[in-house]
Amino acid sequence: MKLYPKKLDSLEALKREKIRLRYERRQTKSSDLNPLSELGRSKISGTAKSGLLSTVMDLASSQSQWQTAMAIGKPLLKMLRKHRSKKA
């Protein structure tokens, strides 16, 4: 039964292989080795997440149409202002 695919005859060959593997490990990203490590991460910033969460909470707790419109209107106005400032 073979445990390692390369045939290492001497102690020097073993040391060279150890150094090569250490260098290879430093050069590869963790996502290359484990694609599941990137699963929980998103590209949305923390402030955007908190803004989205507050909007969802406002929508869930709104009891009238006016409160619902206010909960949706604030983020929409902010988004429109940001979009308008990027155009200019």
The mean pLDDT of 21-38, rounded to a whole number, is: 70
- Examine the pLDDT at 29 and tell me if it is beyond 70: no
Q: Answer with the residue of higher pLDDT: 39 or 4.
A: 4
Taking each helix axis as running N to C, give the angle between helix 46-61 and helix 65-87, from 0 to 180 degrees, rounded to the nearest 10. 150
Structure confidence by residue, pLDDT tens digits, 14-26:
999 999 988 888 8
Structure confidence by residue, pLDDT tens digits, 40-74:
555 666 666 777 778 788 888 888 888 888 888 88
In angstroms, the CA 75 to CA 29 distance is 37
In angstroms, the CA 17 to CA 7 distance is 10
In angstroms, the CA 32 to CA 66 distance is 50
